[in-house]
């Protein structure tokens, strides 16, 4: 059995509006070390709220009402993320858990070069590095994600959508985290670029050994890259199984309907083939 990296127990989030909205309901989930776990469901089902809540990135009116999140560090220590103060949690993020946010162009500063934004990560989290070391690390990261070190001086608008997303992956990889959370990382990219990004994520996962939580409404995409898939509906995980089981033997009616909602390239018109 895969060693557990992150344990989420009875986790709930409410949006404190009138009337209150239960966005995440008593979710239990474990992420294994080195595995890719897909989180799928329609828009508004609570996928992103769960991911943000686990990392304590939610803002009011979102309120975590119950649950425990435990990070099982590779050094053998267990860290209860709920007990970390604001400063310790800020340092924990990116170092142990990193995030690739949806919409790379919105996440990158349009008036700062790619290199300076990557160097900022090292300046904040690795203050002992010299300026030359930060620059070398930045060039190395850009080479790893196949953007190219020469792009260090480029601004976000000078890069294609695919390259900007690769820069976000480089930023998430900078401190060699053990878990990377990716929120719709291929949204708005064409199919060929999507496939390139997915291949690179898989290659980097094998090379560096980090785990991935991959959030998307695109279930067929998750079937290609995930070890396990959690299906969310109305704030709850209604099914959790391997990608092979989800495809061949879906147990929940909602999972079956979700699979049937995607068009097939073959089969009779108007008939869903599986």
- Over residues 27-78, the pLDDT tens digits come to 999 999 999 999 999 999 999 999 999 999 999 999 999 999 999 999 999 9
| Predicted local distance difference test score (pLDDT) of residue 261 | 84
Among the residue ranges 122-126, 194-198, 209-213, 242-246, the one predicted with the least confidence is 194-198
| Predicted local distance difference test score (pLDDT) of residue 235 | 96
| Predicted local distance difference test score (pLDDT) of residue 146 | 92
The CB density around residue 22, as the number of other CB atoms within 10 Å, is 15
DSSP H/E element including 133: helix 131-144
The domain spans of the chain are 4-260
- Band (pLDDT 50/70/90 cuts) for residue 189 is confident
| Predicted local distance difference test score (pLDDT) of residue 196 | 87
Say how far apart CA 211 and CA 117 lie, in whole Å: 24
Residues 41 and 239: beta-carbon distance below 8 Å = no
- Band (pLDDT 50/70/90 cuts) for residue 226 is very high
| Predicted local distance difference test score (pLDDT) of residue 218 | 86
| Predicted local distance difference test score (pLDDT) of residue 267 | 57
| Predicted local distance difference test score (pLDDT) of residue 104 | 65
Among the residue ranges 12-21, 137-146, 229-238, 254-263, the one predicted with the least confidence is 254-263
| Predicted local distance difference test score (pLDDT) of residue 228 | 97
| Predicted local distance difference test score (pLDDT) of residue 222 | 92
- Band (pLDDT 50/70/90 cuts) for residue 172 is very high
Residues 53 and 22: beta-carbon distance below 8 Å = no
| Predicted local distance difference test score (pLDDT) of residue 271 | 45
- Band (pLDDT 50/70/90 cuts) for residue 130 is very high
Looking at the DSSP assignment, which residues form a beta bridge with residue 241? 229
| Mean pLDDT score of the chain | 91
Say how far apart CA 246 and CA 231 lie, in whole Å: 9
The residues near 180 (Cβ < 8 Å, ≥ 6 apart) are: 97, 98, 99, 100, 172, 173, 210, 211, 212, 213
Residue 176 pLDDT exceeds 70:
yes
- Band (pLDDT 50/70/90 cuts) for residue 272 is very low
Under DSSP, the state recorded for 156 is G
- Band (pLDDT 50/70/90 cuts) for residue 265 is low
Under DSSP, the state recorded for 158 is G
Superfamily of domain 4-260: P-loop containing nucleotide triphosphate hydrolases (3.40.50.300)
| Predicted local distance difference test score (pLDDT) of residue 266 | 62
Mean pLDDT on 230-253: 96
């Amino acid at each position: 059995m895969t060693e557990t990296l992150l344990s989420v127990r009875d986790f709930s989030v409410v949006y404190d509006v009138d009337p209150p909205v239960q966005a995440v309901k008593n979710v239990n989930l474990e992420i294994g070390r080195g595995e890719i776990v897909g989180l799928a469901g329609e828009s508004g089902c609570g996928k992103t709220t769960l991911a943000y809540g686990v990392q304590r990135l939610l803002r009011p009116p979102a309120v975590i009402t119950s649950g425990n999140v435990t990070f099982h560090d590779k050094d053998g220590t267990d860290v209860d993320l709920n007990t970390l103060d604001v400063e310790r949690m800020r340092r924990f993020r990116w170092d142990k858990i990193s995030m690739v946010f949806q919409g790379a162009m919105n996440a990158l500063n349009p008036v700062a070069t790619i290199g300076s934004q990557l160097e900022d990560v090292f300046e904040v989290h690795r203050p002992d590095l010299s300026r030359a070391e930060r620059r070398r690390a930045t060039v190395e990261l850009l080479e790893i994600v196949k953007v190219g070190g020469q792009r260090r001086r480029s601004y976000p608008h000078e890069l294609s959508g695919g390259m900007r997303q690769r820069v976000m992956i480089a930023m998430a990889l900078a401190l060699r985290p053990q878990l990377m959370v990716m929120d719709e990382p291929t949204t708005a990219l064409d199919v060929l670029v999507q496939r390139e990004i997915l291949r690179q994520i898989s290659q980097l996962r094998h090379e560096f050994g980090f785990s991935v939580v991959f959030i998307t409404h695109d279930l067929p995409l998750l079937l290609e890259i995930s070890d396990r898939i959690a299906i969310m509906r109305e704030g709850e995980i209604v099914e959790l199984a391997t990608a092979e089981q989800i495809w061949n033997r879906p147990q929940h009616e909602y999972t079956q309907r979700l699979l049937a909602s995607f068009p097939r390239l073959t089969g009779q018109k108007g008939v869903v083939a599986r």
